[in-house]
Structure 1
Amino acid sequence: MTTLSVPQTAPVLALDAGQTGIRAELRAGGAVVASQEFDGVLTDRPVIPQLARAAVEALSGVEPGDRPSVLAVGSSGLTDDMRAEELLQLTREAGIGHVRLAHDSITSYLGALGNVTGVVTAAGTGVVTLAVGTRDVARVDGWGHLLGDAGSGFWIGRAALDAVMRAHDGRGPQTALTPLALEEFPDLEAAYMVLQADEHKVSRIASWGRTVAELAKTDEVCREISARAGRELACSALAGLSRVGEDQRPDPALSTVGKVFSSPWIADAFREAVLARHSQARIVPAHGTALDGAALLPTVAPEDALATHIRTA
C-alpha cells in the first residue's frame, strides 16, 4: 500500500494509549474539537480491540457528518504482529477509512522534537526511548515492567515498595514511605499477594512514583530512588544516541516527556548524567505531547526516516 501524507489541518481522531490511561482528541483545522479519556491499555490482553473500543466510543457522540476519516494512534504494548488493518476493520463502521498506528515511542518523539534527529525519552507508567539519526532509527527499552522500563513510574513505584519491605525486614533504612504503605496495606506481609491478584497491578504500583516524588525533598530513600531513576533514563538516552550515530555530534538534541520528569530530582540526575558524556548536549523542552505526536502521524511523508515505523491501512 502506498503511504500518503495528510495535511496537518485535516480532521483526525488522535489516540495516545498508555497503561495508565487512553487520551483521545478529535482535531480539525489544527484545533482540538473534543477530548475524552478512557482506562489504560492492558498489555497482557489483545491491544488492538482495546484501541478500537476507545476510538469507537470517542466518536459515539459525534454526528456522522462531522466524524474524521483518519484515526491516528500511538500506543504502548504494540508487537510486530499487531496490524493497522485489524484496527481499521474494527472502526470502519464508526466512519474511519484510514489508520496510522505506531508505538508510543514514535508519537512521543514527534510530539517532543518533531521530524528531526535526536533522542526522546518518554517516561510515564512505562518508559521508552527513541533515537533518530539521518538514516537510522533505534528504540531503547520499553520492554515492559517484567523485563525493562528502567526509570519508569512502575520502576520507581516498585523500588518504593521494595524499600518499604526492606525496612520492614531490617534489610534497609527506615523510610517515610512505610506509614503510607501501611495505609494501603495494613498487613505488609500480605501486600505482595494483594498486588498479584490485582489486574491493575501495574498502574497501582506505578502510582507510588508520585509518592516518591513528593517525599524526595525530605526522605533520603526517595531521593536515592529518584537519582537512580534519572541515571537509568539517561543511560537509555545515551545508548540511543550511540546507536544512530548522533553521539558523534558535538551538540546532540535530547528531549524528555512524561510525568516522571516532573520530579526535579529525576530531571537533575538525568541532565547531570547526559552532560557528563556530552557537555554541549542540547536538552530541549518538548514542543508538545505524545497526543500531539499521534495527531502528526498522518503528516509523515514516505521518504521520512520514521515512515517505516508507522503502520498504515
Structure 2
Amino acid sequence: MSRPDTLLIAVDGGGTGCRVAVGTAKDGVLAETRGGSANISTNFDDTVDNITKAVSQAIAAAGLSDADLGTSTAHLGLAGADLETIQQRAQQALPYGTCRVSGDRQTTVAGVLGDADGYVVALGTGTIIARQHGGKVRTVGGWGFQLSDQASGAWLGRSLLTRVLMVDDGIVPTSPLARTVSDSLGGLQGVFAFSNRAVPRDYAEFAPDVFKSGAQGDAIAQEILREGAAFIEKGLSALGFIPGDVLSLAGGVGPHFEPYLSAEFTQSLRAPRGNALQGAFTLARQLAAQG
C-alpha cells in the first residue's frame, strides 16, 4: 500500500493541449494547470516536454516539491497512446516513480462514467465512442486524424475546408459559411496553403463556426453535422446501444451534437460525472493503492 501523502499526478493529453492535476490520496487534487499539445504519436518530444513543464507548474502551485517526482505515482491518458510500444516509450521518458501511460479513452470513460455502465461519446480535437459494461470498456473508431476521428473538432474543420474547395470547383452550391471561410483564408490558394501546414488542432478551430452556422440554417454546416451525427449513431449501434441505454456526451464538441442525434439515442442522456482529468486522477489513486 502507498503512503497517503504520496504525490499523485494525473494528465489528460490531447492534440490541442494537456491538463494536469496533482495531489495526494489523502487530500485529493491540490492544483491543476494546463500545458501545450500532448498527442504522443504526432510529436513525441514536444509532448513529453509540454507534460513535464505543466506538471512542474502544478506541483509549484500546490506548494509541493519536484523532489517528490521520484516517488510519485502518475497516470497519463494521452491522445495517440493506443499502442503498447509508444506507451512503454513514454513511461520510460517521463521522470515519475510509478508511471502508467494509456490512451485517452480509458481516462475519459473513467471520468465520465465512473464505475457505472453506459455509453460515452467524447469529442474534442479527436473522437472517443465507448461502452462500459461490468467494468470492461470497448471502443470503436478514434484511430487518429489521418484515418478516423469522424465527428471530432478536427474532422469538422477539415470537412468544412473540403467543401469550400468543392464550392470553388463548382461541385456543390456555396453557403454563407463557405464564403466567409474562403475569404478569411484568401480564397482557393489560401485554403490549399493552410492545409499544407495545418495540424489537427488547427482544423479544430473551425468547429465552433460549423455549429454556429448550422444553428443558423447554413446548408453546408448542416450537411457536415448530419454526417458527423450519422457516424456517432453507427458507432454506438456497433457497440450494442439500444434505446433507453445511458449515454453521456462529453468534451468540448460532444454536447453540441445533441440536436443532430435521433431521439432514440438522446432519450436517456446523462450529464458526465466528471472529465478525463478526474478519470486520470482516479486511476493514479488506484495505481498507487496497488503498492
Q: In 2, Cα distance between the equivalents of 1:15 and 1:51?
A: 11
1:12 matched to 2:8? The reply is: yes
Q: In 2, Cα distance between the equivalents of 1:25 and 1:257?
A: 19
The corresponding residue for 2:56 is 60
Q: In 1, Cα distance between the equivalents of 2:248 and 2:6?
A: 27
Q: Alpha carbons of 1:57 and 1:269: their partners in 2 closer, same or farther (altered >3 Å)?
A: same
Give the AA of the match of 2:18. I
Shift of 1:286: 0.5
CA-atom RMSD in angstroms: 2.9
Give the AA of the match of 2:282. L
The corresponding residue for 2:265 is 274
Q: In 1, Cα distance between the equivalents of 2:229 and 2:180?
A: 24
Shift of 1:103: 1.1
Q: Alpha carbons of 1:173 and 1:6: their partners in 2 closer, same or farther (altered >3 Å)?
A: farther
Give the AA of the match of 1:286. P
Task: In structure 2, list runs of 5 or more residues that go unmatched.
Answer: none
State the secondary structure of the residue aligned to 1:283: coil
1:163–1:175: 8 Å Cα contact kept in structure 2?
A: no
Shift of 1:126: 1.1
Shift of 1:273: 5.2
Task: In structure 1, list runs of 5 or more residues that go unmatched.
Answer: 276-280, 302-311
Shift of 1:294: 1.1
The corresponding residue for 2:164 is 164
The corresponding residue for 1:27 is 23
Higher relative contact order (CA 8 A, sep 6+): 1
1:233 matched to 2:235? The reply is: no
The corresponding residue for 1:308 is none
Give the AA of the match of 1:210. P
State the secondary structure of the residue aligned to 2:134: coil
1:74–1:106: 8 Å Cα contact kept in structure 2?
A: yes
State the secondary structure of the residue aligned to 1:274: helix
Match of 1:258 among 231, 239, 251: 251
Shift of 1:186: 1.0
1:20–1:40: 8 Å Cα contact kept in structure 2?
A: yes
Shift of 1:66: 5.9
Q: In 2, Cα distance between the equivalents of 1:119 and 1:186?
A: 42
Q: In 2, Cα distance between the equivalents of 1:262 and 1:214?
A: 13
Q: Alpha carbons of 1:192 and 1:229: their partners in 2 closer, same or farther (altered >3 Å)?
A: same
Q: In 2, Cα distance between the equivalents of 1:44 and 1:86?
A: 14
Aligned length: 280
1:234–1:273: 8 Å Cα contact kept in structure 2?
A: no
Shift of 1:211: 1.0
Give the AA of the match of 2:253. V
Q: Indicate the percent of aligned positions where both proteins have the same amino acid.
A: 23
The corresponding residue for 1:43 is 41
Residues 113-122 or 178-187, more deviating: 178-187
TM-score (norm 1): 0.78
Give the AA of the match of 1:64. D
Shift of 1:109: 0.6
Query: Deviation per CA, 1:151-187, whole angstroms, max 9, x where unpaired?
Result: 1112211221122222222211221123332344213
Q: Alpha carbons of 1:260 and 1:5: their partners in 2 closer, same or farther (altered >3 Å)?
A: farther
5 Å-filtered alignment, 1:169-188, equals 169-188=169-188
Query: Deviation per CA, 1:4-34, whole angstroms, max 9, x where unpaired?
Result: 7997x86422111111111222234123424
Query: Deviation per CA, 1:99-154, whole angstroms, max 9, x where unpaired?
Result: 12221111111111112222211111110212122274311001112221111112
1:71–1:100: 8 Å Cα contact kept in structure 2?
A: yes
Give the AA of the match of 2:210. V
Q: In 2, Cα distance between the equivalents of 1:78 and 1:85?
A: 9
Q: Alpha carbons of 1:182 and 1:86: their partners in 2 closer, same or farther (altered >3 Å)?
A: closer
Match of 2:83 among 69, 80, 83: 80
Match of 2:208 among 190, 195, 210: 210
1:100–1:297: 8 Å Cα contact kept in structure 2?
A: no
The corresponding residue for 2:274 is 288
Q: In 1, Cα distance between the equivalents of 2:220 and 2:3?
A: 49
2:112–2:248: 8 Å Cα contact kept in structure 1?
A: yes
TM-score (norm 2): 0.83
2:250–2:272: 8 Å Cα contact kept in structure 1?
A: yes
Q: In 2, Cα distance between the equivalents of 1:180 and 1:6?
A: 57
Q: In 2, Cα distance between the equivalents of 1:85 and 1:145?
A: 22
Shift of 1:65: 5.0
Q: In 2, Cα distance between the equivalents of 1:64 and 1:190?
A: 46
Q: In 1, Cα distance between the equivalents of 2:39 and 2:126?
A: 12
